[in-house]
Amino acid sequence: MLGIGSYLIAASVAVTLWTGLGPGPLDVFIGAMRNITGLPLSVAVWVTVGVLIAVAWGLGRRPGFGTVLSPFLIGPMLQAVFETLDEFGAPQSLAARVALQLVAIFGIGLGAGALIVSGLGAGSGELFAGATSDRVGHAESRVRPVIELTWVVVGVALGGPAGLGTIMVAVLIGPAVARGYQIVDRVVARSHRQVATTHRAIVAREVAHSTR
């Protein structure tokens, strides 16, 4: 689940960068960091996510193993997928780019859901939002939009890229993560039931053979 979730997030974020509509709020900030420091994309992701994890931990939300490991998987995969996509021009049609952006947002939600279901720790964004929610005493659903808006304002002020796609991600990422978690959790639960059913059938068959 950790590897699948990390790849889904990396590939989906790469698509949001490729469409040219504007990346998600945090990626606006990461883009600004790259412009200022000249860091490679993967390193900029590591630094930003590392700071988020450290702050969340300081606020009382301890990261899981997956929370720490996932950025090291996402960074290189994100850079590799983006460089591959960048060899091809993004679609000229605005409708096509909007559709790709929507698919990518859903992909990020599925990836984040997979990280949560893995039980190895939520993603850094979810961890940071949860820690901030705990500290200020307001529901995460109310706190997260403020955090996303902050990333956009600071990122744009520092020269980061933003656009229609940024607004789409900011508005839809919360519901996408919630829906992604539900889907992944349901699929995993169904798989576990099928494995348990198959195991019981094998045991029953072996017992039947042994009593003959």
DSSP string, the chain: -HHHHHHHHHHHHHHHHHTSS---HHHHHHHHHHHHH---HHHHHHHHHHHHHHHHHHTT----HHHHHHHHHHHHHHHHHHHHHHTSPPPS-HHHHHHHHHHHHHHHHHHHHHHHHHTS---HHHHHHHHHHHHHTS-HHHHHHHHHHHHHHHHHHTT---SHHHHHHHHHHHHHHHHHHHHHHHHHHHHHHHHHHHHHHHHHHHHHHHT-
Distance CA 63, CA 59 (A): 11
Mean pLDDT of 83-102: 90
- Identify the pLDDT of residue 105: 93
pLDDT in tens, 30-76: 889 888 888 888 888 888 888 999 999 999 888 888 788 877 788 78
What is the pTM for the complete model shown?
A: 0.74
> 61: left (phi > 0), else alpha (psi -120 to 50), else beta?
beta
Distance CA 180, CA 28 (A): 23
Q: Quick check: 24 pLDDT over 90? A: no
Ranking 120-124, 147-151, 201-205 by mean pLDDT, the lowest is 201-205
Q: Quick check: 173 pLDDT over 90? A: no
Mean pLDDT of 108-132: 83
Question: Are the C-beta atoms of residues 60 and 130 closer than 8 Å to each other?
Answer: no
- % of the chain beyond a pLDDT of 90: 15
> 160: left (phi > 0), else alpha (psi -120 to 50), else beta?
beta
- Identify the pLDDT of residue 199: 43
